[in-house]
Chain A
Amino acid sequence: RTHFLSLSLQAKMSRPVQARRLEGIDKNIWVDFVKLAATYAKVNLGQGFPDFPPPDFLKEAFVRSLSGQNHMLHQYTRAFGHPPLVKILAQFFGKLLGRDLDPMTDVMVTVGAYQALFCCFQAFVDEGDEVIIIEPFFDCYEPMVKMAGGTPVFVPLRPKAPKDGKLMSSADWQLDPAELTSKFSKRTKAIVLNSPNNPLGKVFSRGELELIADLCVKHDVLCISDEVYEWLVYDGKEHVRIASLPGMWDRTVIIGSAGKTFSATGWKVGWTVGPSRLLQHLHTVHQNSVYHCATVAQEVVAQGFQRELELYGKPESYFIQLPKELQQKRDWLVQSLDAVGMKPIVPEGTYFLVADISEFKSDVPDVPNSDEPYDSRFAKWMVKNKGLAAIPLSAFYSGPHKNNYNHFIRFCFAKEDATLKAANDILQKWKREKSSP
């Protein structure tokens, strides 16, 4: 069968089938590293999820909801958030922020914090807009800004040498105020703040947040505040919510996550909290992309928050017990890594820890002119040869900056003690092998 193809049809057939908005955003480290861990890891401290179960009260809430008479739990609920959930979130966060929040307009539920981020970038970022991203950053911020047609502008946290004899802390990684100021321009639409920070574990101090807030107010910039690890802060540190600073409520969208809050990353329930003038635009994106979130998961998270509201500040509160447990695990992993010569940066928050692997370079020699950053090759070698999975820090840097800090890897310590012990065994054996001739 032959037929003459018109020029316009020929032109059409020679164009790529996919939309241009996908340009440069097709790679994803998680797809690669999750596969590697699944194939090789005996101990997986890579991807950030707990290997212990969600708390009993949440599992009980699930069972209760499913065994109840209400089978409408299996049908659509309110698009912008299941009423029991938005009501309790409005109450809870209203209390924390010292504000009266309207559950219908100041809170929106999303499919994980991930989708909340997507809604923010789609709602607020246009072609020509700049978005400031602090490095190292949770890797999805960059492609999401690009997909919205915006330009990411990066500003790094810079490590200061720790005091003599002390281990480095995530607090030692700081923004240079002059450098930060220079990143704000007429085109700056928003800044993304992630505190506590993934991967470093940094908990921004009030002073640091005030610096950022002043610049936002001065330049009329929005703040997308990713606070998914808000409960995981250690050593008595305070998680300060930037939206509570003067001039910030009106220009901030706070993002939260049930996955991180309740150790149930598989449920994909997240939320946004902010003024209705901003959230109304998130509604528009949401109703044109997913429309509804799963009902039963929202119902259970609502019950979880109800319990936490009643126990707020009390020792049985999960929001007090979980960080207490995780702090112990953090300290254990810090010791473990320090003992074998990997230098941990002690995190002030989150369940991640970054360690300097320079002393292990003898196992994985540098390859000059390699396209792949050193830490990525190291992490791949380590999972294949030692069965221990971790994530290279360069994964959390923009392309041109991937080699700036390429001798660090990130561990997740939200793991059962047995898992952490198994990791320790691998590390100890590795060290012994290095020392013997």
Chain B
Amino acid sequence: VEFTKLAADPSVVNLGQGLPDISPPSYVKEELAKAAAVDRLNQYTRGFGHLSLVKALSQVYERVCGRKIDPLTDILVTVGAYGSLFSVIQALIEEGDEVIIIEPSYDCYEPMVKMAGAKPVFIPLRHKNDGKSASSADWALDPAELANKFNSKTKAIILNNPHNPIGKVFTKEELQIIADLCIKHDTLCISDEVYEWLVYKGNKHTKIATLPGMWERTVTIGSAGKTYSVTGWKLGWSIGPQNLIKHLQVVHQNTLYMCPTPLQEALAQAFWIDYKRMDDPDCYFYSLSRELESKRDRMARLLQEAGLKPIIPDGGYFMIVDVSTLKADLSDVDEKQPYDYKFVKWMIASKKLSAIPLSAFCGPETKRQFEKYIRFCFIKKDSTLDAAEVILKNWSKETA
């Protein structure tokens, strides 16, 4: 909320908040116009998810997961993936529980776990190459450290794959380590996979729920906002076994009851269009990923030319950047804040470019580890990236 206000100045090139400024595909917008024109679709629909949407979701994910998914009992449609996170945590987590959160983490996990009365237990991703990391793949969990975090109170682990902010795509082996611990300690897995389609060349997204023993203990979360570049539709979903999803449905019927009908219908139609071409490279799930990969590469090049050190993400639409190499003069910015906060404020004011400081994604114990990084969002149209390019080229001229 804080940084959104600062970056709202229209003269600032906003690469901070994870918000596409590219247009959603035209058929997605057309389906919404069509849906809103149908009288019945302006009234209440099924609480746990509009029928045509849950059916479409079950088809798409049956294909991806290789297992039967019942649209009525195994799926809940929520107000964004955010709403799914809230529903699963309220449904399954309570006082006395511990929940493992991997840092840096999307900032809502911790307050949601606390709101449920439980204790967050943090574990950081650590870079493997002694600071010489250049890729998100260089960051990993220490298996022994992870094993130590599990105990009889551990109710769940929250996994974000592909990972925001680092962009890491967990390998099957890394997921197996997590899965083994979940099974050993009878722990649930809340798998936030909103960036599941945004995986770049040489990488494969594996759903932890498809590993042996994991379907029955995993709730997998997805997002229309990230899938179709419509963050303002606020539609997400939770998929999992009936014996877990039924509790999320109880939370849902006692919190907001239902998501908007016309948006769900439009999303269903968009899913049918892409479901039919899941074998075709033109399917939006793959074409968006290709589009973003070239933006990623362009962004990385510009940052490197400006003397900054980007960590190339294997997935997602964020890139973290080591800014300590610049040794910028931040003496007139507020002393008490972490380095990256000061850097971003200085960058917004003097360079008219915004980003998010990485320590915003960290608890107090890990802030020091990550305070030399800031996060850029690259799901931006060419003119935005052009404006960023101008700033970054001038920047490197100044430091040269």
Contacts and interface: CB of A to CB of B under 8 A. Distances in A.
Interface of A: 6, 8-9, 11-13, 17-22, 25-26, 28, 30-31, 34, 47, 49-54, 59, 62-63, 66-67, 71-77, 79, 111-112, 114-115, 118, 140, 143-144, 147, 263-268, 287-297
Contacts, number: 180
B203 interface: no
Contact of B250 (A17, A26, A54): A26
A75 B21 contact: yes
A112 B29 CA distance: 23
B46 interface: yes
B71 to A, nearest CB: 15
B80 A59 contact: no
Given A17-B247, A67-B33, A264-B43, A293 B234 contact: yes
B287 interface: no
Given A17-B188, A17-B247, A267 B260 contact: yes
Given A12-B152, A115-B255, A147-B254, A290 B79 contact: yes
Interface of B: 1, 17, 19-21, 23-24, 28-29, 32-33, 36-37, 39-47, 79-80, 82-83, 86, 90-94, 108, 111-112, 115-116, 152, 185-186, 188, 225, 229-235, 243-244, 247, 250-251, 253-263
B82 A290 contact: yes
Contacts of A296: 32, 232-233, 263
A288 B243 contact: no
B254 A144 contact: yes
A72 B21 contact: yes
B2 to A, nearest CB: 12
Contacts of A111: 79, 256, 259-260
A5 to B, nearest CB: 9
A75 B377 CA distance: 14
Contacts of A74: 23-24, 28-29, 229-233
Contacts of A118: 254-256
A51 to B, nearest CB: 8
B80 A290 contact: yes
A71 B234 CA distance: 15
Determine which residue in B39, B44, B255, B258 has the highest number of CB atoms from chain A within 10 A of its CB, and name it.
B255
17 contacts: A6-B152, A17-B243, A17-B244, A18-B247, A19-B116, A31-B47, A47-B44, A49-B43, A75-B19, A112-B256, A266-B43, A268-B260, A290-B234, A292-B80, A292-B232, A294-B260, A295-B232
Contacts of B253: 28, 30-31
Contact of B1 (A52, A67, A79, A263): A79
A171 to B, nearest CB: 29
A20 B94 contact: yes
Given A264-B43, A289-B83, A66 B32 contact: yes
A73 B32 CA distance: 12
B54 to A, nearest CB: 15
Contacts of A73: 232
A288 B112 contact: yes
Given A9-B185, A74-B230, A79-B1, A30 B91 contact: no
Contact of A66 (B33, B82, B152, B257): B33
Contacts of B225: 76
Given A31-B47, A73-B232, A19 B90 contact: yes
Contact of A293 (B79, B254, B257): B79
Nearest to B234: A294
Contacts of A293: 79, 234
Interface centre among B91, B254, B263 (most CB of A within 10 A): B254
Contacts of A268: 256, 258-260
A13 B86 contact: no
Contacts of A264: 42-43
A292 B234 contact: yes
A17 B159 CA distance: 19
Contacts of B42: 53-54, 263-267
A34 B72 CA distance: 14
A62 B36 contact: yes
B83 A290 contact: yes
A49 B44 CA distance: 7
Contacts of B259: 111, 268
Q: Among the interface residues A73, A76, A292, which one has the most CB atoms of the partner chain B within 10 A?
A: A76
User: Which of A30, A50, A266 has most chain B Cβ within 10 Å?
Assistant: A266
A291 B108 CA distance: 10
Nearest to B229: A74
A67 B40 CA distance: 22
Contacts of B185: 9
A336 to B, nearest CB: 23
A8 B187 CA distance: 13
A149 to B, nearest CB: 10
Nearest to A268: B260
B44 A75 contact: no
Contacts of A28: 47, 253-254
A266 B86 contact: no
B250 A25 contact: yes
Contact of A288 (B19, B24, B111, B257): B111
